[in-house]
Amino acid sequence: MSFDTAVILDNWPVLARGFGNTVLICAVALPLGFALGTALALARLRGGSIAATAVSAYVEIFRNIPFLIQVFLLFYVLPMFGVRLSPVTVSIGALTAYAGAYLAEILRGALQSIPHGQVEAGYALGLRSLTVFRKVLLPHVVGYVLPAATSLPITLIKESAILSAITVPELTYMAQDVIGRTFSPVEIFTAIALLYWGLTALVAAISRGLEHRLQPHLAARRAG
């Protein structure tokens, strides 16, 4: 048995298109997930008992049901209620909802870790709400959230492979298409494994660099 690199080279444009779609879908879903997670965390902490119960139920559902099932529910169940979305739209929505659930818990823990006395002290000193947020809350929240949140983009990239099940033309789906035409699963799966590894390694390196650059600054702000 030989490893035919020519198969990879001949079909590289197809794999590259799938790779680009994977990056694009995750790049859109990630900031949306951050926004959703922030809204959910604030609603759970400050929205009253009903909002807290609803958010808690949401988080438990999306954290405990496999992502594949979530994708299938959005893709196959919504049309039964007259809501028909394209596979790409479903993909972005599913990744956003999935990321939002995890980020809501991360942010909730970060906000609850801040001693309430520090906030009260800020107001007692005559600081405005924006200044209290910038000087007191933000350094603590970012310092707490950053290590946990940096792993989320990697998780989204890996989970995005599941989207091939609903015919989204991302990397895994395009690879399966190539395998169906070339009957070369070893070469193609090796190629996409390296692509996934390279992308997640790049994201991890960027996250470590960002954390390394921000932590001294955040520590100084806390001390100040």
The whole-number pLDDT of residue 144 equals 72
The whole-number pLDDT of residue 183 equals 93
The residues, ordered by sequence, that sit 6+ positions from 29 with a Cβ below 8 Å of its Cβ are 91, 92, 95, 96, 99, 156
pTM of the model: 0.87
The residues, ordered by sequence, that sit 6+ positions from 46 with a Cβ below 8 Å of its Cβ are none
Count Cβ atoms below 10 Å from residue 219 Cβ, excluding itself. 12
Question: Using one digit for the tens of pLDDT, what is the confidence trace for 55-97?
Answer: 999 999 999 999 999 999 999 999 999 999 999 999 999 999 9
Instruction: Please tell me the distance from the alpha carbon of residue 127 to that of residue 137, in angstroms, as a whole number.
Output: 13
Which has more confidence, 121 or 84? 84
Which DSSP helix (H) or strand (E) runs through 22? helix 12-46
Tokens coding 201: 């390694």
Band of residue 126 on the pLDDT scale cut at 50, 70, 90: confident
* 120, amino acid identity: E
Tokens coding 72: 């299938």
Which domains, and CATH codes, for the chain? 5-223 (1.10.3720.10)
